[in-house]
Chains A and B, each alone.
Chain A
Amino acid sequence: AQTVTQSQPEMSVQEAETVTLSCTYDTSESDYYLFWYKQPPSRQMILVIRQEAYKQQNATENRFSVNFQKAAKSFSLKISDSQLGDAAMYFCAYNAGNNRKLIWGLGTSLAVNP
């Protein structure tokens, strides 16, 4: 069965510092997609970054980058120069094939301290 695990229920970071959120997944598929979504207290789920499994290069979106280790089935999110607006729940999600449904981790609550 495909599963996504986020082992850090809560994290905190000082403003302007860097934080890394962990995600591991289990799959027998070779072609799939991984996502990090952010859900602020306003609850609107927003896509942060996407990684295609067939791409070796790690995805980057401004201050957000991933460390994708396919063999280890690891997909961590690094947030650089953390801002107060980064405080939110962060969810790791997986999608493969024609299934189209996203499989989610339980999330990591990130607090940003001024």
Chain B
Amino acid sequence: EAGVTQSPTHLIKTRGQQVTLRCSPISGHTSVYWYQQALGLGLQFLLWYDEGEERNRGNFPPRFSGRQFPNYSSELNVNALELEDSALYLCASSYRGHSYNEQFFGPGTRLTVL
């Protein structure tokens, strides 16, 4: 069974630019989560999508947005990049039928903002 995949692996952008990160969940999983893992700050919850809808959002500015497609894959968009957006962005998926919400993670996208 294929795991969660993310693309690209690495990205280098400059301040003010926009970036799109992509995630494909495990087959059968309808929920996709995005987390930001900045150095020294641990993982911070960004967004949760399920069945194409945004279900929950973390404490991030509106320039962080995303969407989920009918095939349950997801994009995370970050506009007007700032230096502090440099981080590892992790995507996870889960099967909503499980009450314990075990999340399976992808390898992440390393974003560097110069």
Residues of A within 8 A of B (CB): 33, 35, 37, 42-47, 50, 52, 91, 93, 95, 99-107
Contact = CB atoms under 8 A, between A and B. Distances in A.
Nearest to B94: A100
16 contacts: A33-B100, A43-B88, A44-B106, A44-B107, A44-B108, A45-B105, A50-B100, A91-B42, A100-B94, A101-B48, A102-B35, A102-B43, A102-B45, A104-B43, A105-B42, A106-B42
B42 A107 contact: yes
A30 B65 CA distance: 32
B54 to A, nearest CB: 12
B103 interface: yes
**B: interface residue count bin:** 20 to 34
Q: Which of A42, A44, A105 has the most CB of B within 10 A?
A: A44
Q: Which of A37, A95, A100, A103 has the most CB of B within 10 A?
A: A100
A102 B103 contact: yes
Contacts of A45: 90, 92, 105
Contacts of A47: 102-104
Nearest to B3: A44
A90 to B, nearest CB: 12
Nearest to A107: B42
A104 B46 CA distance: 13
